[in-house]
A and B are shown apart, each in its own frame.
Chain A
Amino acid sequence: KAGVTQTPRYLIKTRGQQVTLSCSPISGHRSVSWYQQTPGQGLQFLFEYFSETQRNKGNFPGRFSGRQFSNSRSEMNVSTLELGDSALYLCASSLDPGTSGNTIYFGEGSWLTVV
């Protein structure tokens, strides 16, 4: 059974550009969440999608956005990139969100470097 798949794994962008990251959840999982991981802040929640609807959003500026498609695949977009956006962006998926026993699995992440 394939795990959470994220593409691309590595990318370098210039300040002011935008970037789109993609995530394919584990087959059958309908909840997809995104996290940003930096050495200084650790893992920070960005947003969660379930059945194409954003259910929760973390404390990030509006430059960070996302969406989920009918097949549960998700994308996140960061516009007007800043140097501080350099981070590992992690996607996670789960089967039964909001229930005890619901395990959340992570992908390998997308390394974004902004220069």
Chain B
Amino acid sequence: EDQVTQSPEALRLQEGESSSLNCSYTVSGLRGLFWYRQDPGKGPEFLFTLYSAGEEKEKERLKATLTKKESFLHITAPKPEDSATYLCAVPNFGNEKLTFGTGTRLTIIP
């Protein structure tokens, strides 16, 4: 069965203090790895899909990378508006079921 583990569970950073979130996974056949951002009371907002080891994608202050066993979401010089829960997920091989990690709750302090 696919498994996804995220760490840390929560992270508090000062504005401008860069850091990384980790997502490690065990899947039978990787068909991609998704990163989502979720604000309180809202649905997950799609950020990135990564497909193969070595791939990187960027969006504003976020950069996602992928290895054969884990993915990192690097946050550079974060701002308070980057505060959210960040979720990673992998699709089941052959269907659309997503297995999610429990998320990292990120708080950026002004």
Asked if chains A and B come from one complex, the reply is yes
> Given A103-B49, A104-B34, are A43 and B97 also a contact pair (CB < 8 Å)?
no
Q: Is A100 an interface residue (CB 8 A)?
A: yes
Within the assembled complex, what's the spacing in Å between the Cα atoms of A101 and B30? Answer: 12
A101 contacts across to B, CB distance below 8 A: 32, 49, 51
Q: Is B69 an interface residue (CB 8 A)?
A: no
Contact with A along B28-58 (1 / 0, CB 8 A): 0001101010000111111001010000000
B87 contacts across to A, CB distance below 8 A: 43
A58 contacts across to B, CB distance below 8 A: 97
Is A98 in contact with B94, judged by CB distance below 8 angstroms?
Answer: yes
Q: List 29 A-B contacts (CB under 8 A).
A: A4-B43, A6-B43, A31-B96, A33-B96, A33-B97, A33-B98, A43-B87, A43-B89, A50-B96, A55-B96, A56-B92, A56-B95, A94-B96, A97-B96, A98-B96, A100-B51, A101-B49, A101-B51, A102-B32, A103-B49, A104-B46, A104-B96, A105-B46, A106-B36, A106-B44, A107-B43, A108-B42, A108-B43, A109-B42
Within the assembled complex, what's the spacing in Å between the Cα atoms of A94 and B41? Answer: 22
Q: Which residues of B contact A (CB under 8 A)?
A: 31-32, 34, 36, 41-46, 49, 51, 87, 89, 91-92, 94-103
Is A90 in contact with B97, judged by CB distance below 8 angstroms?
Answer: no
Chain A residue at minimum C-beta to C-beta distance from B99: A45
Contact of B32 among A48, A56, A90, A100 (CB under 8 A): A100
Which of A43, A45, A55, A103 gathers the greatest number of chain B CB atoms within 10 Å? A43
Tell me, rounded to whole Å, the shortest Cβ–Cβ distance linking A53 to chain B. Answer: 12
Tell me, rounded to whole Å, the shortest Cβ–Cβ distance linking A52 to chain B. Answer: 15
Is B102 in contact with A106, judged by CB distance below 8 angstroms?
Answer: no
Within the assembled complex, what's the spacing in Å between the Cα atoms of A23 and B21? Answer: 32
> Given A42-B103, A106-B43, are A97 and B34 also a contact pair (CB < 8 Å)?
no
